[in-house]
A and B are shown apart, each in its own frame.
Chain A
Amino acid sequence: MTTHPSAAVIARYADPRASLDEVTMWSVEVHLEGCAHCRAVLVGRVPDDTRVLLDRVAAGVDRAVAAGPVPAPRRRWSPVRNRWFVWRLLPWLTMTVAVLGCAVLLEAAAPHLPSLVTLLAPIAPLPGVAFAWSRRHDPAWELVAGTPAAGLAMLLRRTAAVLAVVVPVLALGSTRTGASLAMTLLPCLAFTAAAITLGAFVGVRVAAIGLGVAWALAVVLPAVLTARLPAVLEPGGAVAWALLTLALAGLAGLRAADFRRLTSHH
């Protein structure tokens, strides 16, 4: 609790002729800044000429405030509203949605083939994720890379923006074609987590391209040629995919520091 200075001390503080030692003056000054009551006491003790001067200053300040520009409205800052990068993602997301739309149509046209939506689900988010963390495609990468916020959190935010579009489209596509919802969404999340985890070691872009190519060659191509859904996408594998997703996400969390290092923003 602060003790208020006595009225006598305030009177001496206010009187230019009275002497007050510096330490007392400072403590009175600091107290006055935070105490309206003592300020009111002070006003009663100041000499008349000072009061006239203060009134003149107050009137001048009021006039200037009235004549000056209106203060800018208080804006609430939120990163969500400043969705800078999302605009740059739009073309890629449009492409992903278009490809998935084509897959749905193809499935309707050629029912003997295995579910294309399920086959493409794991690699659907990869173009967006690769784009989101690529120095070639972010015009401001040089500005962003030198800031403390650059790191896993930023990559995850951008990935979330990609998933927010891709996941509903996949869900819609799988229900339309009658494919298993879990076997569409879980591999999609697992591959996203894998791209980020591998990205800690080799760069997200390389990781996404590598995973995409590997999946296309190892699973999609044979499945289309043999017209059978591969074993890894059979409905029984849902638990394995879920565990894989969790493990990869955990690993990515452990490697979070890598995204802040100098080489990670490829």
Chain B
Amino acid sequence: MMRTVSAAETAATTHPWAVHAEGLRVRAGRHVAVDGLDLALGTGVHGLLGPNGAGKTTLMRAVATVVKPAGGRLTLLGEQVGDRADLRRVRRGLGYLPQQFGFYPRFTVREFVEYMAWLKEMPKATIPGAVQRAVDRVGLTAKADARMKTLSGGMLRRAGIAQAIVNDPAVLLLDEPTVGLDPEQRLEFRELLRDVGVDSCVLVSTHLVEDVVAACTDVVLMNDGRLVYQGVPDDLAAQGGAGDAGDSPAERGYSALLRRHRAEAGR
């Protein structure tokens, strides 16, 4: 069947970066969790690494337009996110999986994803098809009509991923998406990431260096709210020496970069 292509779909991209932060500061409570971060992300899968408390989740929330930046500039899809901005247009192009997401236990996976698709203001006629496709892509087809409260942790995570990708977002933010997934599901998830990352900007926060090396085109390393390193996974592996902690070249590179950054910060 033929489909009408809207003007918005064919409009030329006029912004160089999907996500662009300049001197971004974001508070988490009273603490400034992201402090002067400069970051530019284009199309591709970006793995966000960093120790606990590095500000990964707070950065994710700011990019998801859930919390307000305390300072600096944040530009999403060419529109500046600030006090006076109308966020509606930007939010239509966002997909977000929070680290912990609440849900209403009575609802089925399909209803949950449908509800989120509706909140994302997708055209009504396209919702059932998009929902089915999103549920299929995360491998929950058999559980589509099961109630949320009957799902295991890994399945919930996948339902969360399904709601994030249902609107084919231009910017997809996944906070710890691989928690609770078994090894086979993680491999499938990496496949999904590569697939989505072909034409959108995906930012994945994780603790698993191996996931980043396997599925990401770009590595972003944060510590204490600042950008420590941004480069390709192979380059991350090249950063480490034999004396650094870790079981793989990438892990050694990760610990070498952190050690160097901490030494510089301590001086």
Could you tell me which A residues sit within 8 Å of B by CB distance?
33-34, 72, 74-75, 77, 79, 82, 84-85, 87-88, 138-151, 257, 260-263
Give the A-B contact count at a CB cut-off of 8 A.
Answer: 91
CA gap between A17 and B75 in the complex, in Å: 56
Question: Closest CB of chain A to B86's CB: distance in Å?
Answer: 7
Q: Assuming the A-B contacts A84-B104, A260-B88, A262-B68, are A77 and B124 also in contact, with contact meaning beta carbons closer than 8 angstroms in the complex?
A: yes
A144 & B119 in contact (Cβ 8 Å cutoff) = yes
Q: Which residue of A lies closest to B99 (CB)?
A: A142
Q: How far is the CA of A77 from the CA of B91 in the complex (A)?
A: 22
Q: Tell me the smallest distance from the CB of A160 to a CB of chain B, in Å.
A: 17
Contact B103 A139 (CB under 8 A): yes
B51 near A: Cβ within 8 Å?
Answer: no
Assuming the A-B contacts A82-B114, A148-B88, A263-B68, are A143 and B102 also in contact, with contact meaning beta carbons closer than 8 angstroms in the complex? yes
With A148-B87, A262-B83 already in contact, the answer to whether A75 and B128 are too (CB < 8 A) is yes
Q: For the complex, what is the distance from the CA of A261 to the CA of B64, rounded to whole Å?
A: 12
In contact, A139 and B128 (Cβ under 8 angstroms): no
Please pick, from B89, B106, B118, the residue contacting A87 in the complex, using a CB distance under 8 A: B106
Q: How far is the CA of A146 from the CA of B164 in the complex (A)?
A: 11
Residues from chain A with Cβ under 8 Å of B86 in the complex: 257, 260
Q: Contact: A77 with B128, CB < 8 Å?
A: yes
How long is the Cα–Cα vector from A127 to B111 in the complex, in angstroms?
Answer: 28
**Assembly CA distance A263 to B107 (angstroms):** 28
List 15 other contacts, CB 8 Å, given A142-B66, A257-B86, A262-B81.
A77-B127, A77-B128, A84-B115, A139-B104, A141-B102, A142-B61, A143-B102, A145-B66, A146-B94, A148-B119, A148-B120, A260-B86, A261-B68, A261-B87, A262-B65
* Chain B: number of interface residues, binned into ranges: 35 or more
Known: A82-B107, A139-B103. A149 touches B68 (CB 8 A): no
B121 within 8 A of A: yes
Which single residue of chain A is at the shortest CB-CB distance from B63?
A: A146
Q: Does B190 contact A (CB under 8 A)?
A: no
In the bound complex, residues from chain B placing their C-beta under 8 Å from that of A75 are 128
Interface centre among B65, B120, B121, by most chain A C-beta atoms within 10 angstroms, is B65
Beyond A139-B102, A146-B91, A260-B88, is A82–B119 a contact (Cβ under 8 Å)?
no
Let me know if A143 and B121 touch, CB within 8 A: no
A84–B102 Cα distance when bound, in Å, is 12
- Per the bound structure, the CA–CA distance linking A87 and B111 in Å amounts to 15
5 closest Cβ pairs, A-B complex: A139-B102, A262-B68, A147-B119, A148-B91, A149-B119
In the assembled complex, the CB of B267 is this many whole angstroms from the nearest CB of chain A, namely 36
B87 touches A142 (CB 8 A): no
* Assembly CA distance A34 to B103 (angstroms): 44
Q: Write the chain A residue with the least CB distance to B124.
A: A77
Closest Cβ of chain B to A227, distance in Å, is 46
CB atoms of B102 and A148 under 8 A apart: no
Chain A residue with the shortest CB-CB distance to B88: A148
Chain B, residue nearest A142 (CB): B98
Contact present for A143 and B98 (CB under 8 Å): yes
Q: Which chain B residues numbered 80 to 118 have a C-beta less than 8 Å away from chain A? A: 81, 83, 86-89, 91-92, 94, 96, 98, 100-104, 106-107, 111, 114-116, 118
Chain B residues with CB below 8 A from A84, complex form: 104, 107, 115
Q: Which residues of A contact B127 (CB under 8 A)?
A: 77
B206 proximal to A (CB < 8 A): no
A34 engages B2 (CB within 8 Å): yes
How far apart are the CA atoms of A77 and B125 in the complex, in Å?
9
Q: Is B67 an interface residue (CB 8 A)?
A: yes
Q: B110 — nearest CB in chain A belongs to which residue? A: A75
Q: How far is the CB of B168 from chain A (nearest CB, A)?
A: 14
